[in-house]
Amino acid sequence: MRDAFDDQLSEMFADLAGIAGMVEVAIERATVSLMDGDASLAEAVISADAEIDAVREKVEDDAFALLSLQQPVAGDLRTVVAGLRMVTELERMGDLAVHVAKIARLRVPETAVPEDARATISRMADVARDMVQRVVQIIMDRDVEAAIALGRDDEEMDQLRRASFTELLSDSWQHGVEAAVDIALLGRYYERLADHAVSVASRVVFAVTGEFPSRDRSALPA
């Protein structure tokens, strides 16, 4: 009975890691569509979100089945509940990648990112994708040390977000209000991707140890 329960938990975490992997791909493709003005790639990202939703539903169904049939307590209950919270975060991350793709699609045949903002937005995308890539392994390994390290390493994203606002508010900005709105939204989307990655990692720590990393406790969504 215990072995079956452990197998079901392992399957749930494998599905969570799978969703994180799909989010990583979505971020990469959405960013390419954004920088290249590729409408077909943007559409592919938007369409693929249905697969993320489907796996989310499977994780939720499996988790509720564990709760109702196995009636876990203590650490087991904590792990299942943490998985339910993680899958919600991961789905939101997929939605954020879709938002990026929709901005890209909206501006085709042009690109949404002016030349002098490309370096900052591109780096934000790289940081977000790297953090999600690390989350995949953190979930698979339930790696507490790597999860805590991820939470400490998102300062670069905060710096990039501030740099993006500096560019928008500069007297040298000559790209108009529409482009400014696009850049502000894109900065927000990539920043939130990083925030959710940190939150998912924090929930892995909670699942394993019963405690959240101290730096993230107040920041975690309800």
Which range, of 53-57, 97-101, 115-119, 169-173, averages the lowest pLDDT? 169-173
What integer pLDDT is reported at residue 67 of this predicted model?
86
Which range, of 12-21, 32-41, 74-83, averages the lowest pLDDT? 74-83
> Whole-number mean pLDDT of the chain?
91
The dihedral of CA 5, 7, 8, 14: what is its sign?
A: positive
pLDDT over threshold 60, residue 47: yes
Q: pLDDT confidence of 219, banded at 50, 70, 90? A: very low
What integer pLDDT is reported at residue 153 of this predicted model?
79
pLDDT over threshold 90, residue 212: no
With CA atoms as reference, report the closest residue to 20 among 188, 133, 124. Answer: 133
pLDDT over threshold 60, residue 84: yes
What integer pLDDT is reported at residue 152 of this predicted model?
82
The whole-model pTM stands at 0.91
Mean pLDDT of 70-91: 90
Q: What is the pLDDT of residues 86-135, one digit of tens each?
A: 999 999 999 999 999 999 999 999 999 999 999 999 999 999 999 999 99
Place of tokens 């590729």: 38
Q: pLDDT confidence of 215, banded at 50, 70, 90? A: low
Tell me how many helices (H) and strands (E) the chain has: 7, 0
Tokens of 47: 């369409």
Domains, the chain, ranges and CATH? 2-209 (1.20.58.220)
What integer pLDDT is reported at residue 5 of this predicted model?
79
Q: DSSP labels for 82-119?
A: HHHHHHHHHHHHHHHHHHHHHHHHHHTTS-SS-GGGHH
Residues 6+ apart with CB under 8 A from 107: 37, 182
